[in-house]
Structure 1
Amino acid sequence: MSLIQDLRAKRHEIEAVAARHGAGNVEVFGSVARREETDRSDIDLLVDIVAEPGPWFPGGLAADLEDLLGRRVQIIIRRSLSPLIREAVLKEAAPL
């Protein structure tokens, strides 16, 4: 099973963890979305803030997802995307 398939199998758990931290609309991008990941790749997730985030956001969300997924997770907030990479990230972002 590819990593993106594994993420999709855990979609409900990932979404529940994200919701506890005030995040939603979770999408994967980067090497995992392109199916080019290696054993050392992290998981790049794009999220929207949909509720009041906790004081440790987004680090707490990343830590909780790392515990769930057993791999390093990087959280990027959609509205905070740099204009320099915004188009490329949004183009390759894939829903869970």
Structure 2
Amino acid sequence: MKPSEALEIHREFIRDTCAKYGLSNPRVFGSVARGTDTEDSDLDLMVDKGVNTSLFDLNGAANEIGDRLGVEIDICTSTMIRESWRDKINAILIPV
């Protein structure tokens, strides 16, 4: 299954799982946002983190979402993206 297909089926689960780990505003970027994903693609998620959110929370959310969707999840915050790439990525972000 392509990540874009898994996303359509599991949007609510993704939002709920992010909230469980103190993350909010999940958005998709990368090949899924561009409409070029394949069955070998991953799902790139950008989230906002809470004050007490740690890298362990990001990893936990990625693992739980990936297990449910059956695709690899790359999860990050905007500050984790190279500054030189931020404008390009921000231009294609799609809310989950």
- Short-chain TM bin: 0.7 to 0.9
Choose between structure 1 and 2: higher helix proportion.
Answer: 2
Matches within 5 A, 1:49-88: 49-50=49-50, 52-53=52-53, 56-88=56-88
Structure 1 residues 69, 2: CA separation in 2 closer, same or farther (over 3 Å shift)? closer
| Structure 1: tracts of 5 or more residues without a match | none
The alignment's TM-score, normalised by the length of structure 2, stands at: 0.86
Percent of pairs with identical residues: 30
Aligned AA (1:31): S
> Which letter maps to 1:82?
R
Gap runs ≥5 in structure 2: none
Tell me the C-alpha RMSD between the 2 structures: 2.0
State the alpha-carbon separation in 2 of the partners of residues 75 and 55 from structure 1: 10
Contact kept? 1:24, 1:49, Cα under 8 Å: yes
- The SS at the match of 1:57 is helix
In the TM superposition, residue 89 of structure 1 has moved relative to its aligned partner by 0.7
Q: How many aligned positions are there?
A: 96
Contact 1:23 1:51 in 2 (8 A): no
- TM-score, structure 1 length as denominator? 0.86
Deviations 1:23-52 (A, max 9, x none): 110000000111100110000001000352
